[in-house]
Amino acid sequence: MYNNFLVIENISKSFGDNKVLENINLNISKSEFFGLLGSSGSGKTTLLRILGGFEKPDTGRVILDGMDITNLEPFDRPLNYMFQSYALFPHLNVFNNLAFGIKENFTKKEIEINVRNISELLSIEHLLNRRIKQLSGGEQQRVALGRCLIKKPKLLLLDEPLAALDKKLRSKTQLELTTLQKKLKITFVFVTHDQEEAMSLSDRMAIMKNGLILECSSPEDIYENPKSLYTANFIGIANIIEIYKKGENFYSDDLGINFKLNKELKNTKTNILLRPEKIKIQSINNLKTSSFNSFSGEILEKSYLGSFTRYEIKIKNMIISVLDQNFNSNSNYNFPKGEKVICSWESESIKVLED
Amino acid sequence: MKNKLFEKYFVFSPYFWLVLFFFIPLAIIFKISISVSEWGMPPYQDIFLFDNGFKINTTFENYVYIFSDYYYIGSFVNSLILALISTFFCLLIGFPLAFYIATSNIRLRNILLVLVVIPFWSSFLLRVYAWKIILQNNGILNVILLNLGITSEPLQLLYNQYAVIMGIVYTYLPLMILPLYGYLNKFDLNLIEASKDLGLNRTKTFFKVILPLSVPGIVAGSLLVFIPVVGEFIIPEMLGGSDRLYYGKILWEEFFVNRNWPGASALAFSGIIILVLPIVIFQILYSRWSQKNEI
């Protein structure tokens, strides 16, 4: 399925007694935009640094485009690394920062042409004579990106590429980064702790925790069908409910209601995931609760988010989050705090978690 | 109000110190350097005479005397060369050490820093004397060399310019390491990784990234070594021989042996001017340069 462009094979790494990476295997395609998502201490940055050549793995191999690069020095690898701090050279101006990596192998004229091309691509041609300290965060990010791309790497590694930018600039840069990547067709592997960033940038992403890859798939697949409890909680808002077999159906003690699943279960007891936007919320006057996949509860908290309203609904021992899309401006669709409502969902929306 | 007054005087206290312990002594030295020498105590005449009316009694002959005799200029040149060589070796040894200390983990870093500072806890004189014992003809080094059969007779390690350079490098090394460390400590190690990532090997990374960004630390450390070494007296006196005369020793002899206070003062004052003026000019140019380059 994947064309073995970048193969990460059985990579393990420890710092002293601290196991940072355990038997990591990944297969990344050419021109893929691949995200490594995890909280701090998950080992994601160490994995990226191993790819960059700044750390040596204890075991395993890294193969890039058919070449084993595991033991190559950073300066011998046909890839580039964009640092979270950008690591631009403060003693050089923008032009010389961009030209830093090509100065040796190119003539003066070629360097100028290359710098001009890359600065036009990133729209920083007006900054070439500036010093690094005279640049804004967004401009620095572009220079850092340009300094890597000018080398035409086979693979670009990005460590938290947008973390240093403010929120508004971040969403703009997010879009630019994806457009750029699709245009240049360079394989991008990036690290982030921000799940929204990972979802919007990645073609595919890997969820990391304690040095392990829990799941690796497209953002849609990971959001809709997470395998583990950790992923379900980590990505988006999750209602996790413990259910067990009771006669024909399943029953939740916390909610005191029946669940009907559209598939058989191996275990008699399991956790299920119910995404908040999959739950339909209706006024209690309109209908009665069904005997399964529905409950009536009281609205505890409500926050208006513009396109959505988020409700926290209390039922028995649990609080369930519901996202209700604001279809029209009719206030009938908005339920006040303290109101009793009926919540219901389709059997297909119930996702069974493996662990 | 009171607080403001306190602040004002507090700010001025360093200037007060500078005037009291630098400018006034300097003025006294200058005064002696332009006075006429005579036999007596003190061995010079007052510059203001009130015998038969007011008379200014100054002379520049002391300066003429110093600058016309190569004995004095030569010793100063010797001292400048010694200071240059010593600073170079201090930098050569101190830079890698400072870099290693700055990039090692915090526990090792503290141990190493203490090791750098430890020599200051014992007397400077004792430490130089210890070198004398190590290097002398029946000293530890010669005994080891003889017993290993590397030499058949004791080597003359003491009383030459090489012993002086070694003693100075040994003594002044911490003065090079500490300011360099202070600067390299703030060095962003990602810059080194970025340079390697962009295809520069270790040597090229050193010359293109580490060295240019260390210039302020190198300048600070080098000045701290260079300036006092020019006037260094004890080390050439204890470890040096008669092969080379140095400025500090000449000055000392002129003052204490020849009792030529005006001559010695003229020598001291000329030395300060020759040394300080270029350094001040350098500092001005350098601060302009570093502002322009934002280092």
- Its pTM stands at 0.80
Give per-residue pLDDT as tens, B104-118: 989 999 999 999 999
Q: Helix (H, G, I), strand (E, B), or coil: what is residue B218?
A: helix
Residues of CATH 3.40.50.300 domain(s) within chain A? 6-233
- What phi and psi values does residue A273 have, to the nearest 5 degrees? -115, 135
Q: How confident is the model at residue B140 (pLDDT cuts 50, 70, 90)?
A: confident
User: B26-293: CATH homologous superfamily?
Assistant: MetI-like (1.10.3720.10)
- Say what the pLDDT of residue A2 is: 59
- Say what the pLDDT of residue B161 is: 85
- Say what the pLDDT of residue A330 is: 62
Angstroms from A158 CA to nearest CA on chain B: 12
- Say what the pLDDT of residue A337 is: 85
User: Is B200 within 8 Å of chain A by CB?
Assistant: yes
User: Is B294 within 8 Å of chain A by CB?
Assistant: yes
> Could you tell me the CA-to-CA distances from A44 to A2, A36, A355, B220 in Å, in that order?
21, 6, 22, 40
User: Is B293 within 8 Å of chain A by CB?
Assistant: yes
Structure tokens at B98: 């400072």
Domain boundaries, chain B: 26-293
Q: Could A87 and B188 be called an inter-chain contact, meaning their C-beta atoms sit closer than 8 Å?
A: yes
Distance CA A135, CA A47 (A): 30
Q: CA nearest B191 in A: which residue?
A: A87
Give per-residue pLDDT as tens, B141-186: 888 888 888 878 777 878 888 889 999 999 999 999 999 999 898 8
Angstroms from B286 CA to nearest CA on chain A: 14
Distance CA A47, CA A157 (A): 11
Residues of CATH 2.40.50.100 domain(s) within chain A? 237-353
Give per-residue pLDDT as tens, A41-86: 899 999 999 999 999 999 999 999 989 999 999 999 999 999 999 9
Average pLDDT, chain A: 89
Q: CA nearest A130 in B: which residue?
A: B293
Measured over the CA atoms of residue A192, residue A196, residue A201 and residue A204, the dihedral's sign is positive
B295, A91 in Cβ contact below 8 A? yes
Angstroms from B239 CA to nearest CA on chain A: 43
Q: CA nearest B194 in A: which residue?
A: A87
User: Is B195 within 8 Å of chain A by CB?
Assistant: yes
Q: CA nearest B205 in A: which residue?
A: A75
Structure tokens at A237: 């808002």
Q: Give B 83-112 residues with CB within 8 A of chain A.
A: none
Question: Which CATH fold would you assign to the domain A6-233?
Answer: Rossmann fold (3.40.50)
- Say what the pLDDT of residue A338 is: 85
Residue B28 scores a pLDDT above 60: yes
Contacts of A52 in chain B (CB under 8 A): 193, 197
User: Is B51 within 8 Å of chain A by CB?
Assistant: no
Q: Could B199 and A91 be called an inter-chain contact, meaning their C-beta atoms sit closer than 8 Å?
A: no
User: Is B209 within 8 Å of chain A by CB?
Assistant: yes
Per-residue pLDDT tens listing for chain A (355 residues): 557 899 999 999 999 889 999 999 999 999 999 999 999 889 999 999 999 999 999 999 999 998 999 999 999 999 999 999 999 999 999 999 999 999 988 899 999 999 999 999 999 999 999 999 889 989 999 999 999 999 999 999 999 998 888 888 888 888 889 999 999 999 999 999 998 889 989 999 999 999 999 999 999 999 999 988 999 989 888 999 888 888 778 888 888 888 888 777 777 788 889 999 999 888 877 666 677 788 888 899 888 888 888 999 998 888 999 998 887 666 555 788 888 888 888 888 888 888 6
Q: How confident is the model at residue B2 (pLDDT cuts 50, 70, 90)?
A: low
Average pLDDT, chain B: 87
- Say what the pLDDT of residue A189 is: 96
Q: Which of A88, A91, A100 lies nearest to residue B213, judging by beta carbons?
A: A91
Mutation target to probe the A interface, by most A beta carbons within 10 A, among B107, B198, B200, B210 is B198
Q: Give A 109-148 residues with CB within 8 A of chain B.
A: 131-133, 147-148
Angstroms from B212 CA to nearest CA on chain A: 7
Q: Could A100 and B195 be called an inter-chain contact, meaning their C-beta atoms sit closer than 8 Å?
A: yes
Contacts of B212 in chain A (CB under 8 A): 91
The conformation of residue A150, written as its DSSP 8-state character, comes to T
Angstroms from A199 CA to nearest CA on chain B: 28
ω into B174 cis (within 30 of 0): no
Give per-residue pLDDT as tens, B194-235: 999 999 999 999 999 999 999 889 998 999 999 999 988 889
Q: Could B190 and A87 be called an inter-chain contact, meaning their C-beta atoms sit closer than 8 Å?
A: yes
Contacts of A133 in chain B (CB under 8 A): 294
Give per-residue pLDDT as tens, B244-281: 888 888 898 888 888 889 999 999 999 988 888 888 89
A to B CB pairs, distance under 8 Å: 65
Query: What ipTM was estimated for this complex?
Result: 0.84
Q: Give B 248-287 residues with CB within 8 A of chain A.
A: none
**DSSP code per residue over A251-293:** EETTTTEEE--SS--SSSEEEEEE-GGG-EEEETTT-PPPSBS
Question: Which CATH fold would you assign to the domain A237-353?
Answer: OB fold (Dihydrolipoamide Acetyltransferase, E2P) (2.40.50)
Q: Give B 173-192 residues with CB within 8 A of chain A.
A: 188, 190-191
Angstroms from B287 CA to nearest CA on chain A: 14
Query: Any residues with CB less than 8 A from the CB of A147 and at least 6 apart, and which?
Result: A88, A97, A98, A100, A101, B198
